[in-house]
Structure 1
Amino acid sequence: MYILGINAYHGDVSAALLNDGKLVAAVEEERFERIKHVAGFPTQAIRCCLNIAGIDGRDLDHVAIGRDSSANLGKKIKFILKNRPSLRLLWDRATTNWQKVFGVEDDLAEALGISKRACPPLHTVEHHPAHLASAFFVSPYDEAAVCAIDAMGDFVSTSTALGTGTDMEVLGRVYYPHSLGIFYTAITQYLGFPYYGDEYKVMGMAPYGEPTFLDELRGLVPPRDDGTFELSLDYFRHWSDEHEDSTAHGVPSLGKLYTGELERLIGPEREPEDELTDRHKNIARSLQAVYEERVFRVLNVLHDETQVSRLCLAGGGAMNSVANGKVRANTPFEEVYIQPAAGDNGIALGAAYHVWHEELDRPRTFEMNHVFWGPEHDDAGVPGIVGTREDAAQKYQWTRYDDTDALCGKTAQLIADGKVIGWFRGRLEWGARALGHRSILADPRRADTRDRINNRVKYREEFRPFAPSILEEAVDEYFVDAAPDPFMQQVYPVREEKRDEIPAVTHVDGTGRLQAVYEETNPVYHQLISEFADLTGVPVVLNTSFNENEPIVNTPEEALDCFFRTDMDAVVIEDTLVQRQSVEAAT
């Protein structure tokens, strides 16, 4: 039985395909559209999933979409009667929802290449139940507490549940307009980072500051007696007549989320081009601290309710890897599972599994322990693409390796020699992180590596950290009390005696967002790091996503284009190594 899950009509649209309860394919539309967090309908992602499975639209048995505009209707009516928003605001939002609900069958039929009449049954799954399903039903746990935290979806921003087998018992919810996601994004915008998904920049900047604005920011999101929270609405616009969001041209935007009251409280907003001052860094640090306080309070109450030691997290809040790495130290939970597409891209996965388990009552047979669910490509076209470059023979050398050992050995040597390498092999990663199939790699021992990649490869802010990919068996040697997370979703302290050894992947506060690399699920990448360890004694490489202010590369053509326009020294496309001639001359 094939079930297609989709996330549509807002940011991070995506598709996931199950066959008899096992994941076959999952991919985000942005990888094809080349627009970060693209909104709209995941037409190309759907077609990619079908192609990977070797089926067409007529072979599908069910389709699940992760939105339900009719959900929480009573709460919506109560909010309208209490707050009396303008008729224009109500009309705009109602019209938008109506168009999306009644247009989905047309969009789906076009994506599947079949008539509307031939489309399989369509299930609407509410946003937060889809988040909860995406977290628990692919986890290794038969029983766990489950929590989803995001900005808002179908009138809910936070939900908690107890997952047992194929059942999910919802325990609590926080409804519109109160939202930790809105709180974090509003301050992100105030700090001069206006784009959808910029929250991770503020998270990376926070360790450079001091928490000197705690009292002010705590007042924006006061706690409730039940362990949840509310927003002090005078500081926020998302619930008022003045707020507008947009998905124009596929680019999602939440609109300005804060009011002038915020500037009166903590000072003037920062324009994107303004200098980052200590005040801005202190606000970022205070934001992260207050966010963590509220999250841990929610999770501690959840543990009190469930009395289980395992936790699954989802929603955009579950992409806050700094908070994730502190959960076990600040709550009684002993194990934490966060699947790699915990944000709204994971709604596609959750909607499909909600139908499989909770609607069809089918047993669990799948555990997500790797991220490689997208398309793959060969390297046949690489020589032709490189050969068409001007002065290709003088500028580039390319070699095809028939032996993986030789390829990994050569690449490890280049990294050890200080070269920055694009690494493109196997199926595309599912989720926001590049985890060894679409990665840029470098030597973590060189303190100048971070600045070089930020300034000459990624062209991004200098305060942005890079992640360590580490052999799973070496995690305890380099990190303090770290769970060996294969999905790079948790930040942990680097051991003091190791910080000088791997400065390029140790953040200013002595932490790293680690990826534990397992031989059984990521064998070639594990071999590459092992070869590097044999050369240097360090079982770690610097890993960042293979892109440059764009979505992660999907095809060899995109990978080579990124290589040509940046300061990378070499690129591996499957079994072919392409080097700039200066690299070969130096080795």
Structure 2
Amino acid sequence: MLILGINAFHGDSSACILQGGALVAAAEEERFRRIKHWAGFPSEAIRYCLAEAGAVLGDVDHIAINTDPMANILKKVGYTLKNRPDLRFVLDRIKNKRERAGIDDELNAAFPDHPMKGKVHYIEHHLSHLASSHLVSPFDESVAVSVDGFGDFSSGAWGVGRDDRIEIDNRVFFPHSLGIFYQALTQFIGFPNYGDEYKVMGLAPYGKPAFMEQMRQIVLAQADGSYALNLDLFRHHKEKIEYEWASGSPVVGELFNDELIRLVGVPKRAKDQPLKQVHHDIAHSVQAMYEEAFFHLLNCLHERHGLEAVCLAGGCAMNSVANGKIRRKTPFKKVYIQSAAGDAGGAIGSAFVVHHQLGIKVKRNFVMDHAYWGPQFSNEEVAALLKEKKSELEAANCIVEGIAEEGELCRRTAEAIAGGKVVGWFQGRMEWGPRALGNRSIICDPRRTDMKDILNLKIKRRESFRPFAPSILREKVGEWFEEDDDVPFMMKVFQIREEKRALIPAVTHVDGSGRLQTVYRDTNRRYYRLIEAFHDLTGVPIVLNTSFNENEPVVCRPEEALDCFLRTKMDSLVMGQWYVARMAG
């Protein structure tokens, strides 16, 4: 049986396909469209997933989409009658719901030669989030938590997952939202683009909690563990905010009003204005407020249910700084967050909900222990590309070698990294989710104090305060970090041991932390062998890992990898068994 899962008409649109209850393929539309956070209908991601399953649209038995236009309908009607928001606000919401209800039309238009025969299932947004974590986790029983901006008129939901069932205990409804709090303050600090919240996380360690008094007047923790906003400071609940999702990069208008500016006591920052210490302090306070509310929720849920495992999803589950503190700030002992915790992951959640709702009496048989679910390309395809681009490579003073033996390829690459080279590393299936996890990565030496500057000068051209990540051999985590845990998807930040920080300055953030990725021989043998070879050379079982891109979505195809290599000052490129080196002179 084939089930197609879809996240559509929202940022990070995506698709996945299940076959017999196991994930076969998953990808975000942005990787094919080459527009960050692409919103709209994910036709190219669907096309890829069908091809990976060896199927056409007419073969699909069920289609699951991670929204239900009828969910929480009484809450919506009651809110509208009570609050009488701007008519444009209401009409905009109606338009969005009509778009999302037309999935069958979109599918048939995108695949006219193979009409849809399967049944469409609309799965409520937060149930999809919860399922995207618990139903693919290694836990038989867990507290499941979804926290984000908004979806289907709520911003959060939580309960308990037991085997293939999820029972939701409570929700936070529109207009209250921890995600909106973080997004609004991200805008206030001068980062206006959709998805810029990670910049606030990167900036926060440079500041102090100087604005906590103000933050606690913005977010109000509730006795039951939930949260509320001081709505006097926001616009989203009564004015038409600019939301642009269709067929492009998402755009979100300003969410806060002048009352919030007065409360904070400093002017909002324009994106082209310099960052000052006050902005560092606001960022620190925003992160601290989020953590205060988040851990209050988790502690209440642990007290209520007494379980040792927690599964997280929703856009706020991408807050790796908070995630890395869960075992220290709450009684939970086990934490699972899949690699696409945000809205993209809803495609997987909705598909697994449908699989289990169909009443097939089989035990859960799938655990997502790696993120490699995207397209892959053969050595022959790479060779053909390199042959086609021979003149451009020669003009860039590059040499091309084929190194068929994996151990030798890893040794040569490790030597280049240890020599200070910046290496593009392209192999296997593309990662699912926003993190580069060793298949579409740029790899460097973490021991060099100047490596962040080199990377920003040569390739990334991004803010200097944003850290780079350490990929580490799993069995070495306890030697280098203060916590010893599995972090396969780079979803947690841990403190690096104090005596080790000077050894890996390029991946040590200003507060001594690192957003690590634990690498396993059985899920990514080649990347593991590369780090192992670097360890043999240097005694350090860690490489600096950043995404293979330059102000664009992470590369998907060999053509994009080669283009990024040629237009930047990257030193070497490894694609499959092919090693491309830019010669000096």
Number of the residue aligned with 1:268: 267
Number of the residue aligned with 1:383: 386
Q: Take 2:388 and 2:408, find their aligned partners in 1: how far apart are those partners?
A: 24
For residue 23 of structure 1, give the secondary structure of its aligned residue in structure 2.
strand
For residue 336 of structure 1, give the secondary structure of its aligned residue in structure 2.
strand
Number of the residue aligned with 1:72: 72
Matches within 5 A, 1:484-563: 484-563=486-565
Number of the residue aligned with 1:150: 148
Number of the residue aligned with 2:304: 305
Number of the residue aligned with 1:4: 4
Displacement of 1:88 in angstroms is: 2.5
Q: Take 1:367 and 1:99, find their aligned partners in 2: how far apart are those partners?
A: 33
**Higher mean displacement: 437-446 or 481-490:** 481-490
Displacement of 1:551 in angstroms is: 0.5
Matches within 5 A, 1:387-402: 387-389=390-392, 391-392=394-395, 395-402=397-404
Matches within 5 A, 1:385-424: 385-389=388-392, 391-392=394-395, 395-424=397-426
- Taking only the aligned residue pairs, the percentage that are identical comes to 52
One-letter amino acid of the structure 2 residue matched with residue 387 of structure 1? K
1:440-486 per-residue CA deviation (whole Å, 9 max, x = no partner) reads 00000001001111232111000010000000010000000231211
1:237 aligns with 2:268: no
Q: 213, 216, 236: which is aligned to 1:215?
A: 213
Matches within 5 A, 1:425-440: 425-440=427-442
Summarize the Cα distance change of 1:114–1:303 in structure 2 as closer, same or farther, 3 Å threshold.
farther
For residue 218 of structure 2, give the secondary structure of its aligned residue in structure 1.
coil
Displacement of 1:359 in angstroms is: 4.1
For residue 122 of structure 1, give the secondary structure of its aligned residue in structure 2.
strand
Number of residues paired by the alignment?
580
Contact kept, 8 Å, 1:15 with 1:26, in 2: the verdict is yes
Number of the residue aligned with 2:280: 281
Q: Take 2:580 and 2:480, find their aligned partners in 1: how far apart are those partners?
A: 32
Summarize the Cα distance change of 1:312–1:75 in structure 2 as closer, same or farther, 3 Å threshold.
same
Displacement of 1:93 in angstroms is: 1.7
1:46-99 per-residue CA deviation (whole Å, 9 max, x = no partner) reads 010111111111221111011111110111112112211122321222123223
Q: Take 1:60 and 1:168, find their aligned partners in 2: how far apart are those partners?
A: 25
Q: Take 1:561 and 1:34, find their aligned partners in 2: how far apart are those partners?
A: 13
Q: Structure 2: where are the runs of 5+ without partners?
A: none
Q: Structure 1 length as normaliser, TM-score?
A: 0.97
Summarize the Cα distance change of 1:242–1:52 in structure 2 as closer, same or farther, 3 Å threshold.
closer
Q: Take 1:458 and 1:76, find their aligned partners in 2: how far apart are those partners?
A: 43
Contact kept, 8 Å, 2:88 with 2:240, in 1: the verdict is no
1:198-233 per-residue CA deviation (whole Å, 9 max, x = no partner) reads 000110110000110001011101112222111101
Q: Take 1:271 and 1:249, find their aligned partners in 2: how far apart are those partners?
A: 27
Number of the residue aligned with 2:337: 338
Displacement of 1:304 in angstroms is: 1.6
Displacement of 1:396 in angstroms is: 0.6
Q: Take 2:33 and 2:297, find their aligned partners in 1: how far apart are those partners?
A: 37
For residue 537 of structure 2, give the secondary structure of its aligned residue in structure 1.
helix
Q: 186, 196, 199: which is aligned to 2:197?
A: 199
Contact kept, 8 Å, 2:370 with 2:523, in 1: the verdict is yes
Summarize the Cα distance change of 1:362–1:448 in structure 2 as closer, same or farther, 3 Å threshold.
farther
Number of the residue aligned with 2:63: 63
Summarize the Cα distance change of 1:269–1:385 in structure 2 as closer, same or farther, 3 Å threshold.
farther
Contact kept, 8 Å, 1:46 with 1:112, in 2: the verdict is no
The alignment yields a C-alpha RMSD, in angstroms, of 1.3
Displacement of 1:388 in angstroms is: 2.9
Contact kept, 8 Å, 2:9 with 2:99, in 1: the verdict is no
Displacement of 1:255 in angstroms is: 1.3
Q: Structure 2 length as normaliser, TM-score?
A: 0.97
Summarize the Cα distance change of 1:284–1:553 in structure 2 as closer, same or farther, 3 Å threshold.
same
1:396-429 per-residue CA deviation (whole Å, 9 max, x = no partner) reads 1010111111111100000000000000000000
1:14-71 per-residue CA deviation (whole Å, 9 max, x = no partner) reads 0011011100000000000001110000100001011111111122111101111111
For residue 94 of structure 1, give the secondary structure of its aligned residue in structure 2.
helix
One-letter amino acid of the structure 1 residue matched with residue 177 of structure 2? S
One-letter amino acid of the structure 1 residue matched with residue 11 of structure 2? G
One-letter amino acid of the structure 2 residue matched with residue 280 of structure 1? H
Q: Take 2:200 and 2:438, find their aligned partners in 1: how far apart are those partners?
A: 25
For residue 159 of structure 2, give the secondary structure of its aligned residue in structure 1.
strand
Contact kept, 8 Å, 1:482 with 1:492, in 2: the verdict is no
Number of the residue aligned with 2:455: 453
Q: Take 1:309 and 1:397, find their aligned partners in 2: how far apart are those partners?
A: 54
Displacement of 1:182 in angstroms is: 0.2
One-letter amino acid of the structure 2 residue matched with residue 293 of structure 1? E
Contact kept, 8 Å, 1:434 with 1:546, in 2: the verdict is yes
